[in-house]
Amino acid sequence: MKRFVGVILFVFALFFGTATVLGQDVHYSQMYASPLYINPGFTGNFDCDFRAGLNYRQQAASFTIPYETYTAWGDTRYYPKFLHQRGWVGLGGHLYYDNAGDGDLTKVQGMLMVNYTQGFNSDNSIYGSLGVGLGITNRTININKLIFNNQWSDTLLAFDPSIISTDISLIKNSTIFYPDFNIGLVFHHLVDENWMYEFGGSISHVTRPYESFYGSNSSRLERKYIAHFTLQRILSPEWLIKPEIYFITQHGVQETIFGANLVYSAIELKLHGGLWHRLGRDIIPMVGLEYNRFLMMFSYDINVSKQRVASHYQGGFELSLVKKFCARVSTKRAPCKYLSF
């Protein structure tokens, strides 16, 4: 067991210590509400049979055209008989759409994920997961909505879209496709009936695919690295607290998000509230409501960085919907160990 943990820590130290990244991805503030996008090792790792979710984020609301991101995802798990309930397989996938700016720069990705989880002790309260995702990405841009510097009119003292720009000829393709590959590890430990912790890491864009509208092979989408840690503690029959921290690095940019959600259980109804911080940038309050395994969460980014003068403290808001389905008797009897609250 100690050897396994040591290997995981060494691998993560190697990955994160040598990372030099040159591209940047879409991101969420509610990282905990988009598990498959964060780490394919989360695929099939939950306390029910099926799970589905929707995420929506609007960013830079003070701009004329805010950035928008939509994600739909779902997963399940399967117990092959030959594993004798000491391991299981998670299956899932996500589809996301991202739109940014006046030029309708869009990104659409579909990805399928598979995850293998292995228990390390007799009751599977300690286990590790290795997940991979394979998908296809499409990026498009509307050239007709772009304005170039040589379209400036000294007569009008403004940009004139009717002036034909020679820069348009440099764009070889207004739509591109490329394959994508993600990988991730998660380690989970249910210490006792009152608390558990899990930590892991993932690498997105492992193959560094080419991404250029100019037909150039010099522009690559660099790897994104995520490390995360979660602790869940039952304080009483009515209260649970979940502190978490996420570290993301890509394109030479580092982002750290940390905070905690507090859950109050009133029989079948659960109230969620949280406070998060994107280091040096945003304060993120969150509220949520859960009923019959259906969870709805809303958060808002309050920009407190130096950009607050231009943004008027407006960052972006997110809405997340997550539903768990418990239907199959076979998996309810399986020896997965999760915190019961």
Q: How confident is the model at residue 303 (pLDDT cuts 50, 70, 90)?
A: confident
Taking 80 as the threshold, does the pLDDT of residue 301 lie above it? yes
pLDDT band at 17 (very low <50, low <70, confident <90, very high): very low
Bridge partners, residue 265, by sequence: 270
Q: Output the pLDDT for position 212.
A: 80
The domains of the chain are located at 2-332
- Model pLDDT for residues 259-297, shown as the tens digit of each residue: 999 999 988 899 999 999 999 889 999 999 999 999 999
Q: Which residue has the higher pLDDT, 4 or 135?
A: 135
Average pLDDT (71-87) is 88
What is the distance in angstroms between the CA of the first residue and the CA of the last residue of the chain?
Answer: 27
What pLDDT shows up at residue 6? 42
- Residues recorded for the chain: 341
**CA pseudo-torsion sign 209, 212, 218, 219:** negative
What are the DSSP calls for 109-133, one per residue?
A: EEEEEEEEEEE-STTSSEEEEEEEE
pLDDT, tens digit, 9 for 90 and up, residues 100-146 = 877 788 999 999 999 999 999 888 889 999 999 999 999 998 877 67
Distance from C-alpha of 90 to C-alpha of 46, rounded to nearest angstrom: 10
149-198 pLDDT tens trace: 666 766 767 766 666 666 666 676 778 999 999 999 999 999 999 999 99
**CATH numeric code, 2-332:** 2.40.160.40
User: pTM, whole model, 2 decimals?
Assistant: 0.84
